[in-house]
């Protein structure tokens, strides 16, 4: 029996991010371990209590996601994206970022 009940395909990644607190000028460094159309798995660098709603900033793309903390186990945090209007854009970004990983370059042609 397949125990993975995710509705959307997750892409494994190792990207730096920051968790921004909505109600105070504070952030936590984190690693984005995987990401999909509707959520992400984060690893916190320090154990700190999180509010229910956070903003996730992905450093390399400068993208901000409004998130709800769905679950937490020690330093691992599962978040669900709340910004539904951004889902189409997020899917396009994921496809663009991960398309090079599925590309197989042609073999070099012989010079003879």
pLDDT tens digits for 44-94? 999 999 999 998 988 888 788 889 999 999 999 999 998 755 666 666 656
Mean pLDDT for 20-34 is: 88
Q: Nearest 5°: CA angle at 39, between 96 and 52?
A: 145
Q: What's the pTM value of the predicted model, to 2 decimals?
A: 0.68
Element (H, E) at 90: helix 87-102
Write the CB contacts of 58 (distance below 8 Å, at least 6 apart in sequence).
15, 17, 32, 64, 65
Range name among 33-37, 38-42, 83-87, 102-106 with the lowest pLDDT average = 102-106
Fold of 11-92: Thrombin, subunit H (2.40.10)
Contact of 51 with 79, CB cutoff 8 Å: no
Range name among 7-11, 28-32, 92-96, 97-101 with the lowest pLDDT average = 97-101
């Amino acid at each position: 029996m397949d125990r993975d009940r995710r509705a959307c395909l997750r892409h494994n990644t190792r990207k730096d991010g920051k968790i921004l607190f909505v109600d105070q000028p504070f952030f936590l460094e984190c690693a984005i371990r995987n990401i999909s159309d509707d959520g992400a798995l984060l690893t916190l660098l320090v154990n700190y209590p999180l509010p229910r709603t956070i903003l996730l900033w992905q450093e390399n793309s400068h993208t901000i996601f409004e998130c709800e903390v769905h679950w937490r186990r020690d330093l691992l945090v599962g978040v669900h994206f709340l910004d539904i209007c951004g889902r189409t854009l997020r899917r396009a970004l994921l496809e663009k970022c991960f398309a090079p990983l599925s590309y197989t370059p042609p073999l070099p042609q012989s010079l003879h």
